[in-house]
């Protein structure tokens, strides 16, 4: 997408109030490697786009991240945060809530520790979840919305969200990495596999753990 075409597309998105529309699996934009952000939009438009992506994420039930391709933009940009409704459960399980974070031109590498398996879902694949094995600790390099370059370590749920959203920017859906024998409806995950735990889920559905 040329810079003028990108700018026009962003302008179209921003002129309509309310949450942005989510692109669903099957749309080619979800399978494109995104263009790096190098100031194509200008600071004011970038801030407005980030704000609208945050609004969309926060108003979408159970959303923890949103990548630009999911709103139709092949741009290396994503936002993430764990909603307040999850905070108590995360603290009880010994994990840290993820504050609102902007990923611009992100990349990551494993930073030691095991690969862990957990159910993931996606706003672009509504109604389904599947188990994905990912490094439990990563080193993330990113820029924020002010242009600062940051290098950070993330673990647990935060690391998983970063990997999931960065995958979107490479044209990768979580299903590409998933154990497809675990593919389940949201209802099954909540009622059956969540209470069962990872090991029991793997045994009953017949797939190996990492």
89/95 Cα distance (integer angstroms)? 9
Instruction: Kindly list the distances between the CA atom of residue 7 and the CA atoms of 2, 10, 40, 41, 49, in Å, as whole numbers in the listed order.
Output: 9, 5, 8, 6, 11
- Cβ partners under 8 Å of residue 56, min gap 6: 19, 20, 22, 63, 66, 71
Whether residue 122 is annotated as binding a ligand: the answer is yes
Residues in the chain: 210
DSSP state of 64: -
Question: Two tokens at 111?
Answer: 């930073």
Residues tagged active-site? 165
Show the beta-strand stretches assigned E in the chain. Answer: 65-67, 77-80, 101-110, 115-121, 128-135, 137-143, 149-155, 178-185
What is the rounded end-to-end Cα distance, in angstroms, of the chain?
39
Whether residue 168 is annotated as binding a ligand: the answer is yes
Write out the H or E segment, with its range, that includes residue 53: helix 43-58
Binding positions for Fe cation: 122, 164, 168
Binding positions: 122, 164, 168
């Amino acid at each position: 997408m040329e810079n003028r075409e990108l700018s026009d597309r962003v302008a179209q998105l921003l002129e309509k109030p309310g949450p942005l529309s989510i692109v669903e699996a099957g749309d080619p934009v979800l399978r494109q490697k995104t263009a790096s952000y190098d100031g194509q939009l200008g600071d004011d438009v970038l801030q407005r786009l980030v704000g609208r992506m945050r609004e969309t994420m926060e108003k979408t039930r159970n959303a923890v991240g949103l990548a630009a391709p999911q709103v139709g933009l092949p741009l290396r940009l994503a936002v993430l945060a764990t909603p307040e409704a999850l905070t108590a459960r995360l603290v009880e399980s010994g994990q840290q809530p993820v504050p609102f974070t902007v990923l611009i031109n992100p990349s990551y590498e494993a930073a030691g520790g095991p690969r862990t398996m957990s159910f993931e879902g996606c706003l672009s694949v509504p109604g389904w979840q599947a188990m994905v094995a990912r490094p439990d600790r990563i080193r993330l390099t990113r820029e924020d919305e002010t242009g600062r370059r940051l290098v950070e370590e993330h673990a647990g749920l935060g690391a998983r969200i970063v990997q999931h959203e960065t995958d979107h920017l490479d044209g990768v859906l979580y299903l590409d990495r998933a154990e497809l024998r675990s593919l389940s409806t949201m209802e099954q995950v909540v009622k059956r596999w969540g209470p069962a735990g990872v090991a029991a889920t793997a045994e009953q559905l017949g797939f190996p753990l990492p």
